[in-house]
Structure 1
Amino acid sequence: MISYKTLFLLTAFILTLSGLLSLITDSDSNRGLYDLYPSNTDHNKDLGDSPVANMTYFLMLTEGIAGGFKPPTIRRVIELSSDGTIGFVKQSTLKNKDDYVVQQGEVSSRELAVLGVDLRTYLAILPREEPEGGEDIYGLDISISFQTDGFEWRNGAPEGCTNEPSRVHPTPEQKAMFRELVERIQSVGQQFAINTVES
């Protein structure tokens, strides 16, 4: 049986040297990302000086993306950025009608490396709505926007009265995968964005 550490290193090798992305499958279709990459394992400590440990990327998670007769009400925005040395976390949470509480913090890029690898690997096989912004196909009223070298991904939702059904929809397993990524990003925001920025 392949260990979690070996599985992670294999994924990093493929991502770094060949740029080919593959989905790590399992006979149990209900197995989630936390089972593949448990947050309490030691592989976070074994990245060494590999390119994966110095991965650069920018991510923005937006809660409250669907509009209607009125524009969408953005409830929270979480921004993660890693320059390969230091990671920055910023969280803006709606306090009242149009006032946001902004909190931020720093974290070692190594702490964000595994999340960055997972995001690139799994977002690459998750569908996006077609046409763009036509429908919230994941049903969470949440958007993930992710950018790294040679790869960009973003899902959306209708921002106004026009709602055009998407020609593409995720499977239940893909919806669960998206939800788990959202939860991991939210956890990072809660854990590291702890310094309030005075307005």
Structure 2
Amino acid sequence: MPIGEYSLRLQNGIRGGFAPPTPNFIHTITLPLDSDSLTVASSVRPEGTPSLQDIAPKFVKLKNEDTEALVDELHGILKELPTEYPPGSEDIYGLDTSIAWGSDDLQWMNGAPGGCGGGTSVIQPTEEQKAKFRRAVDIVTTLVEKDA
């Protein structure tokens, strides 16, 4: 079943504390309404530099190779995974990475908008859930790396 329009973001560098986190990269993938292409926008912080630099967006055909199947798999995984509580309390998956997904049927985000600032989450994932989160990160990375 087609998911419809959605937006997702992958961010590495979510652990903070006294100071806010310093992202290493932020990748945003969107499927606009009535589009057959994903829009992939990225900002990357070159090693040793203090700020993110934007990379020109690219467009990936949704029907290209396994793109739609990957998106469906990602959507299914996120529907099953818990997030930390309270939001932003702890990097419960231990990857210093967050995923945010927004669509009509699913709003999911780990790591809170400002990252994880310390504290302990009352919700802890199982090892199987941690493995599924790693797979979700791999899927988003694959989508970002696809040729336009």
Per the shorter chain, which TM-score range? 0.7 to 0.9
Counterparts of 1:92 and 1:125 in 2: how far apart (Å)?
28
Counterparts of 2:50 and 2:111 in 1: how far apart (Å)?
23
**Which residue does the alignment assign to 2:59?**
106
The answer to which of 63-72 and 128-137 deviates more is 63-72
Residue pairs, 1:59-70, within 5 angstroms: 59-70=8-19
Q: 1:56 to 1:109 in 2, by over 3 A?
A: farther
- Contact conserved, 1:58 with 1:146, CA < 8 A, in 2? yes
Structure in which a larger fraction of residues adopt strand: 2
Gaps of 5+ in 2: none
Matched, 1:74 2:23: yes
**Which residue does the alignment assign to 1:91?**
42
Match of 1:187 among 120, 123, 142: 142
Structure in which a larger fraction of residues adopt helix: 1
**Which residue does the alignment assign to 1:164?**
119
Indicate the SS of the match to 1:189. helix
Task: Tell me which of the two structures has the higher relative contact order, counting C-alpha pairs closer than 8 angstroms and 6 or more residues apart.
Answer: 2
Match of 1:149 among 104, 108, 111: 104
The alignment-based identity, stated in percent, is 33
Q: Which has the larger radius of gyration?
A: 1
Counterparts of 1:69 and 1:58 in 2: how far apart (Å)?
30
TM-score by length of structure 1 reads 0.64
Gaps of 5+ in 1: 1-11, 13-51, 194-199
TM-score by length of structure 2 reads 0.84
Deviations 1:67-98 (A, max 9, x none): 12322011001111112422111121102112
- Contact conserved, 2:43 with 2:52, CA < 8 A, in 1? no
The answer to which of 183-192 and 145-154 deviates more is 183-192
- Contact conserved, 2:24 with 2:52, CA < 8 A, in 1? no
Deviations 1:86-136 (A, max 9, x none): 211112110211241414211112244222222221111101001111110
